[in-house]
A and B are shown apart, each in its own frame.
Chain A
Amino acid sequence: MADITRSPWLLHYDASSCNGCDIEVLACLTPVFDVERFGIVNTGDPMQADIFLITGAVNAQNAPVVKQIYDQMSDPKVVVAVGVCACTGGVFKEAYNVMGGADKVIPVDIYVPGCAARPQSIIDGVVAAVGLFKERYMQLKNKQPLSVGHLEGGEGS
């Protein structure tokens, strides 16, 4: 059986991004970067995804959506916050309707900084996520408790 890291499928969700990071995520699929070389597919279906890429800050309206998408993904799974808004809330942090980064709602494993995050750093983050994906699979296989990412105000590693 082939290594699980050879086929990580991404799910990309735009929480409230300005589309800057979204365009950079899509740029990873273009001929210049072509992440499909590594078997990465940008799927639109949470049930089939392994790595959750979230861009933009989380607000009260989309928090349940983000939570639901996270819950629909089956283990092992990894969450990557792309861009400074998804990491911390960025310049919108103090806005009355913004809750903050993605880690206010779901446990985030990897933070990719930048405004907008460059394709190179996104790919770097995804490669780190693939490593963690394998680690979680081994935990699942050995029936160990799965490691959990950082959740603001919750238990975390």
Chain B
Amino acid sequence: MLTPLSVRFIYAIAYIVLAPFIGGLLEGIGRKISARMQRRVGPPLLQPFYDISKLLKKKRSQVTRAQGFLLTSYMLLIIFTGAMLFFGTDMLMCFLMLSTAALFLYLAGCVTTSPYSSLGAQRELIQEMAYEPAILLTALGFYLAVGSFDVETIYNSPVSPIMIIPGFFVAFVFILTIKMRKSPFDESTSHHPHQELVKGLTSEMSGRNLAIFNVTEWYETVFLLAVVFLFIKNSSAPLVSGLVGIGVVLLTYFLEILIDNTSARVHWERMLTLTWAVTLCSCGVNLLVLMIVR
């Protein structure tokens, strides 16, 4: 018989092992859907894995040694963040770890002399400024809904948190566009080249370092989608809410691709005001309603 603690360990290890595969597959599906939206055939479903495999085979070249170290730290911190969430610890702690990881990415961009990379790194900080309030408020929202920051308690809450904090859900999904680096908020790493930014933050990353960056993105995507799942999951109807949760996660991901394909990059000031406005309005209204109702 498995003890609750060993089950939690299995969840955390499953995240560490499976997240890159799920994240890579999601990116493959995303690229395929994007291509279909543009009436193209698109790459094979496993293309992201082929890309990683190719990047690992390229001859190693890096601008400074610090870049490799900083990127590895970034990856380990993101993996640790996700593992903590799947282990079921404090959600606030997970989000603070996420911010620390973003700092290492910023440093990895700064450490080179390339103007594109530096510009991308500065924009990464601006992005963090834009999404951080929404992320912290999300943790607060879960506390208001469930009465605990503990992920395990949130996961086993009798009512889906989204029933109590829909405003926080809107704010969180809104900033996912920034976190997943999709247009119109792909400020720090433009994923379509030939723009003023080249590849932004990742301009000076090649071969193995770029592979580390990409795999870390997959880990982060799975982590963020797991938070979306937590909004839906309840313990009254675990199977139904679980299935609906997976549906909402996939729908959210599809929505990001749709937004990505239908919008062009906006100026960073616009991103900041728009994100903060959405965060303040949706979370604020939700908070007011909660205060009146309770």
Chain A interfacial positions (CB closer than 8 Å to B):
1-4, 6-9, 30-31, 34, 36-39, 42-45, 47-48, 50, 74-76, 137, 140
Contact = CB atoms under 8 A, between A and B. Distances in A.
* A-side interface mostly: loop
Contacts of B60: 74
A31 B205 contact: no
Contacts of B43: 36-39
B46 A2 contact: yes
Contact of A76 (B53, B59, B195): B59
A7 B50 contact: yes
Interface residues of B, number: 34
A44 B194 contact: yes
Contacts of B207: 74
A31 B199 contact: no
A6 B44 CA distance: 10
B294 interface: no
Given A6-B50, A47-B206, A39 B44 contact: yes
Contacts of B46: 2
B61 interface: yes
Interface stretch (B34-42, B143-151, B172-180, B222-230): B34-42
Contacts, number: 86
Interface in B47-103: 47, 49-51, 53-54, 56-61
The CB with the most chain B CB atoms within 10 A, among A43, A44, A50, is that of A44
10 contacts: A6-B47, A7-B47, A37-B40, A37-B43, A39-B51, A44-B199, A47-B61, A47-B206, A48-B199, A74-B207
A17 B206 CA distance: 28
A74 B44 contact: no
A76 B58 contact: yes
A138 to B, nearest CB: 10
